[in-house]
Structure 1
Amino acid sequence: MNQPKIISSPDGKLIHTSAGAIIEKDGKYLLLDRAKPPWGFACASGHIDEGEDPETALKREVKEETGLTVTDYKLVWEEYVDWDWCSRGVTGHHSYIYQVATSGKVKGNSESKSISWYTKEEMKKIKLERMWVYWFGKLGII
């Protein structure tokens, strides 16, 4: 496991950085049901490792978690939140959220119990991981 990049928050706390990929196709969003904390359904996402930039981490996380290759991306939100608990020892993250186009065939890995496409209405009925409830709300998706 690589070491996540650690930076200082505006209030001086040590925090991690992360990148997340919103992958939408034909009105459905690709979500993983996480097999480890933080629990719930989420888009492909994860820590930016030491020495990586957000875009490199984005491409790596999408490939690792979905088997897909990123072909295009657009930053749609960037924000620091101080309430995002992390299993790796911090309580805040500076996150970069991207709208992503991909190619390839979807395949899961051991980090998720399942991976599938969900409509906005279906997303309202499943237990989303709390950061993705927040991001989807900020972006007007749900």
Structure 2
Amino acid sequence: MKSCDNTSVGVIITDHQGRYLMFDRATFPVGAAPAAGHFDNHGGAEAAGRAEVKEELGLTVTSLTRVTGGWRDNSCRRRPGARGTGTGHNWTVYQATVTGDLTPSARETKNVRWIAPAALQELADRTVAYAQGRVTDAEFEAAPGLEPVWMQWLADIAAIKVSTDELLQVELLAR
């Protein structure tokens, strides 16, 4: 098992209709999310972003624009690394344009789909309900909302609407 490098990149992809390319994670953590992963040996955030989109979705990034990021206390399935923690990552989040044929990784993704902004909000609302105990672990695993760490990033770019209190509740899930 790899060690956590405590750095993560996320790549938000939208189409000309304003829909978001999302998928359910096939591995921990549970939830719908855009392409994301550790920097690892990619040489930095931009190279890691391009690599994750290629690895998870089979698409080629043609442009990247940094839209948000920062430290998040989100859990990691990897063993603790040099910083001595498996919890927390310094994130860089991009908006990307892509080209190519969508060929999702069966190992990392399931239920890959383009979703309208209203459907993205519904996923966010489900994650809030989960954080508030109105959706059980089993129910969330069977029909997940957004991966908790993505709630802040999508709120930052006004892709979803969520209150500060709701974000704090969801933050506890991410840990």
Tell whether the structures are fold-level matches, with TM greater than 0.5.
Answer: yes
Structure 1 residues 50-89: aligned runs within 5 Å: 50=41, 52-81=43-72, 83-89=73-79
Counterpart in 1 of 2:30? Answer: 39
Structure 1 residues 117-136: aligned runs within 5 Å: 117-126=114-123, 127-136=145-154
Counterpart in 1 of 2:171? Answer: none
Over the matched positions of the two proteins, sequence identity in percent amounts to 37
Larger Rg: 1 or 2? 2
Structure 1 residues 106-117: aligned runs within 5 Å: 106-109=102-105, 110-117=107-114
- Contact residue 8 and residue 92 of structure 2 kept, 8 A: yes
AA matched with 2:112: I
TM-score (norm 1): 0.86
Q: Partners in 2 of 1:66 and 1:43 — Cα distance?
A: 10
AA matched with 1:119: A
Q: Partners in 2 of 1:113 and 1:84 — Cα distance?
A: 21
Q: What is the CA RMSD across the aligned residues, in angstroms?
A: 1.5
AA matched with 1:31: M
Worse-matched range after superposition: 110-119 or 93-102:
110-119
Q: Counting helix residues as a fraction of each chain, which structure ranks higher?
A: 2
Deviating runs (4+, > 3 A) in structure 1?
1-4
Kindly tell me the number of residue pairs found equivalent between the two proteins. Answer: 131
Q: CA deviation at 1:78?
A: 2.3
- Contact residue 42 and residue 48 of structure 2 kept, 8 A: no
Q: Partners in 2 of 1:76 and 1:19 — Cα distance?
A: 11
AA matched with 1:135: W
Counterpart in 2 of 1:20? Answer: 10
Q: 1:62 to 1:51 in 2, by over 3 A?
A: closer
Secondary structure at 1:115 match in 2: strand
Q: 5+ unaligned residues in a row in structure 2: which ranges? A: 80-85, 124-144, 161-175
- Contact residue 10 and residue 34 of structure 2 kept, 8 A: yes
Q: CA deviation at 1:50?
A: 3.4
Q: Deviations over 1:50-79 (max 9, x none)?
A: 362111100100001111000011111120
> Does 2:95 align with 1:91?
no
Q: Partners in 2 of 1:115 and 1:22 — Cα distance?
A: 14
TM-score (norm 2): 0.71
| Alignment equivalent of 1:140, drawn from 158, 162, 168 | 158
AA matched with 1:106: L
Q: Partners in 2 of 1:3 and 1:102 — Cα distance?
A: 30
- Contact residue 2 and residue 78 of structure 2 kept, 8 A: no
